[in-house]
Structure 1
Amino acid sequence: MVDFPLVQPVMKVNFFVTMWDTPDSNDGGVIGGLTTAATAVLNAAVPFLAGGFRSVEGLDAINELVTHQEGGNNHSEHRFYDRSTYAKIVLKRGITFNTDLADWQNQVTLGERKVRKSGTIILLDSRKLFEVPNVSVPIPGQYFPVASWTFHNALPAKLAGPMLDATASEGDLVAVETLELHAEKIERLSLSLIPGVADLNSALSGLVGLAGGASAAGLSAGAGALAAL
């Protein structure tokens, strides 16, 4: 049985990545919409059929600030927001028969259309919501989503194949390919983006903090009583 709501940090090993063609990079109209829908469904299914990504790096949003110095105010500086920049996303996975990353690279390099992709990275709880008898592979919806990031209008910057080594040690035998991509925007999806929910989120965070403080106080009191004995 899974206890909700989740208030404790989850492990970083259970996540899911999916990408789809950005509508603006398609032909537009009905054909473009169908292409976007088809790539979204295909990319959602592929990780369960051919294996997902083993690691994700670069979910960084960086705010660039400008500094203004006020005349006569020599003990502080004024800082103002200028623009946001986003890090390079690095995705790694073991090589299978799936060639979708190479296909995307070729589309951008050789094709007339510069196909852009958007996508999501979803971090899942390690506890299962349900069990399926005699099935060992992950099932969609089996794990509760805890956090998710989305990136927009990305282009591949580098696709690196594996380093092949016949003398590799037993613990490093998986052939891994690496995709580096640049997105126009990266953001973590949050309920606080919905008007009114931010206040509720703050209230819940406060309650969790109070509960944690009360728990810590109880443990301290218990430790003090034991010490007195």
Structure 2
Amino acid sequence: MFFNQSSLIGNYRFMVEIGNLYVAGFSEVSGLTVETEFEEYREGGVNDYVHKLAKGTRHVPIVLKRGIGYSTELWDWHNDVVAGRIRRLSGSIILFDDRFREYRRWTFNDAYPVKWIGPDLNASVSEVAIEQIELVHNGFKLR
């Protein structure tokens, strides 16, 4: 298969929308993964292959990383979950092309945070303090 390498889209132009939370400046997004689990079944007398039967599909948690800012919206959202007040929000991860036009959109549904990681602080380096939040969700769609 031949393709034009100039048509590839960079992975550094993206934006994240989460419900009514206006939390910009994510430096990294991971977890756009869908995995179909399967079970192996060996049939008696058939020795040259193993049947692979689909069991179900799972969506791994989405992990968002960003530099610490003045907003505490992500912390507050996670803290509500810790207190038993689960607020499910839907959102999108939007990838832009080189002209900043929307190229792809992954829309996830009914997400809520299950893990928040604060920054590693080290006075001997001049890196940005990064917070991380992990969201479970009920799947996403590609548009």
> Aligned to 1:80, which of 53, 77, 80?
53
Is 2:138 the counterpart of 1:181? no
> Aligned to 1:110, which of 80, 83, 90?
83
* Structure 1 runs of 4+ with >3 Å offset: none
Going by fraction, where is helix more abundant, 1 or 2? Answer: 1
Provide the secondary structure at the position in 2 that maps to 1:164. coil
Is 2:94 the counterpart of 1:95? no
Rounded to whole Å, the distance in 2 between the matches of 1:126 and 1:158 is 33
Q: Match for residue 151 of structure 1?
A: 108
Going by fraction, where is strand more abundant, 1 or 2? Answer: 2
Rounded to whole Å, the distance in 1 between the matches of 2:116 and 2:13 is 24
Q: Would you say how many aligned residue pairs link Structure 1 and Structure 2?
A: 138
Q: Is the 8 A contact 2:9 2:98 kept in 1?
A: yes
TM-score using structure 2 length: 0.86
Q: Structure 1 stretches of 5 or more lacking a match?
A: 1-6, 21-38, 128-142, 191-229
Q: Is the 8 A contact 2:81 2:114 kept in 1?
A: no
Q: Match for residue 8 of structure 1?
A: 7
Q: Structure 2 stretches of 5 or more lacking a match?
A: 1-5
- 1:71 is displaced (CA, Å) by 2.5
- 1:107 is displaced (CA, Å) by 1.6
Deviations 1:71-118 (A, max 9, x none): 22211122221101121211111111111101101221225x311122
TM-score using structure 1 length: 0.56
Identity %: 39
Q: Is the 8 A contact 1:60 1:186 kept in 2?
A: no
> Aligned to 2:40, which of 31, 45, 67?
67
